[in-house]
Amino acid sequence: MNEWILISVLIIAILVIIALIIALLVFKKKKEGEMSESNYQVFFILGIVWIPIGIVFMVTINLVIGIAFMGLGLSYIAIGLANRDKWGKNE
């Protein structure tokens, strides 16, 4: 069971590094004045993808990790649906 803990820690570390890189890129674009509106349709699609991934993790690996992924999926769907009126404006 220790290998699952190691794999989980590695995945979390990779996600934190990716989040830091994205945050730096966003701050750089914001400073240069190149920021544009978010594509909220992508949030909805990501939510649709994360919910089944959460179910698979709940069944196969760990209940807690699966619930976390499902929570991410539900929050992404909520963000996408809350801004549904802005979906077609980014084309």
Residue that is written with structure tokens 């994205």 in the block:
22
- The parent domain of residue 5 ranges over 1-35
- Please indicate, yes or no, whether residues 17 and 41 belong to a single structural domain of this protein: no
pLDDT digits (tens, 9 = 90+) for 16-66: 999 999 999 888 888 887 767 778 888 899 999 999 988 988 888 878 888
- Please indicate, yes or no, whether residues 59 and 83 belong to a single structural domain of this protein: yes
Residue type, 86: K
- Please indicate, yes or no, whether residues 41 and 17 belong to a single structural domain of this protein: no
- Please indicate, yes or no, whether residues 7 and 50 belong to a single structural domain of this protein: no
Local confidence band at 1 (pLDDT 50, 70, 90 cut-offs)? low
Domain count for the chain, please give it: 2
- Please indicate, yes or no, whether residues 59 and 21 belong to a single structural domain of this protein: no
SS3 of 37, please? coil
Maximum pairwise Cα distance, the chain: 48
pTM of the model: 0.60
- Please indicate, yes or no, whether residues 42 and 78 belong to a single structural domain of this protein: yes
Q: Which residues of 38-65 are buried (b: 16+ CB within 10 A; e: fewer)?
A: ebbbebbebbeebbeebeebbeeeeeeb
